[in-house]
Chains A and B, each alone.
Chain A
């Protein structure tokens, strides 16, 4: 078996966080969770995850600010970041892309299986880089 890929989930809604992390855990990922942007930055610096799932609306440091910081840190400069948010107007999507998000997914428009598929696409594309 290949190494478990590390995924960081930044999501402040604990209920959604639980559903997502349990799904990803069952799908074979090593899951770390952050409840806000500040913790997301810290965890991503300390653990260099293979992929980051980032909510936008979070208390304190929000997802946009976290995205900017994570993208600038040398450890996670190239880490795939999927913004997974329900804040999804054109201007939000554009801003997230400008700040370096690789993908933007609207939570309510995807099932968790589809989310796992998307994450696996990134994992596949990233293999050999490390």
Chain B
């Protein structure tokens, strides 16, 4: 095969793969639309029951309707997450890095989880850094998603009485955020797969049957697009997820 033939063959294969990828993206878009239509109907009907539009519900009825409503809400979120993921490739092109206050972002995000952790009886704590954290170049909304994912997971996979501790540290090159929990941890056999798309550990599925298996995958993609690192450490009980972001973005 001559070089020219090889190039032609590669070009052909490339265009075939691009078409296939477009097809996949379209298929996901259409599925999401269809799923959302059914989810909307379920949501509105359950809400009508909960609001007593069809007569007052007794305690059990109300509590089960609420559970159904909450599950449906999570499915709505999953569809949104699926769409976000569908565009992860193209989203990579639209990162917008601005100097931002990571400490304030952590503060805000933790605040959003106050009531959820309180409800579950989990202590959500912030070990504030002793030194001043400078503004660092990040895409604020994307890093917010990462923080949300990590804190949400930490709470989700912990029990009443557990603790979730968030901390920020800094060295001369990076800022590192750690979200440490005393929850169920990640089984040793499954640690290698934890960042894979759609993967959920056995004990995570047992603990909570609903979950897309996209949170950590998406988070890792976002952090790596920031030329940072996302990893975890196993604690005696629980897990410590960390990500580090460079103080300076390499010019790109």
| Interface positions of A (Cβ within 8 A of B) | 13, 15-16, 19, 23, 57, 86-90, 106-109, 111-113
- Report the minimum CB–CB distance from A5 to chain B (whole Å): 21
- Report the minimum CB–CB distance from B178 to chain A (whole Å): 32
State A111–B40 Cα separation when bound (angstroms): 8
List of A residues within 8 angstroms of B48 by Cβ: 112
Q: How many A-B residue pairs have CB under 8 A?
A: 44
Which residue of A15, A19, A89, A111 contacts B29 across the interface (Cβ within 8 Å)? A89
Interface string of B43-69 (1 = CB under 8 A from A): 111011001000000000000000000
Specify the main secondary structure of chain A where it touches its partner.
helix
Closest 8 CB pairs between A and B?
A86-B36, A108-B36, A107-B40, A108-B40, A108-B39, A108-B76, A111-B47, A86-B33
State A16–B34 Cα separation when bound (angstroms): 13
Q: Which of B29, B37, B48 has the most CB of A within 10 A?
A: B37
The answer to whether B47 and A57 touch across the interface, beta carbons within 8 angstroms, is no
The answer to whether A113 and B40 touch across the interface, beta carbons within 8 angstroms, is no
Smallest CB-CB separation from B75: which chain A residue?
A108
State A107–B32 Cα separation when bound (angstroms): 12
State A57–B45 Cα separation when bound (angstroms): 22
Specify the main secondary structure of chain B where it touches its partner.
helix
| Interface positions of B (Cβ within 8 A of A) | 29, 32-33, 36-37, 39-41, 43-45, 47-48, 51, 76, 79-80, 83, 87
State A106–B153 Cα separation when bound (angstroms): 26
State A113–B47 Cα separation when bound (angstroms): 9
The answer to whether A86 and B40 touch across the interface, beta carbons within 8 angstroms, is yes
State A102–B80 Cα separation when bound (angstroms): 22
List of A residues within 8 angstroms of B51 by Cβ: 113
- Report the minimum CB–CB distance from A112 to chain B (whole Å): 5
The answer to whether A13 and B44 touch across the interface, beta carbons within 8 angstroms, is no
The answer to whether B33 and A111 touch across the interface, beta carbons within 8 angstroms, is no
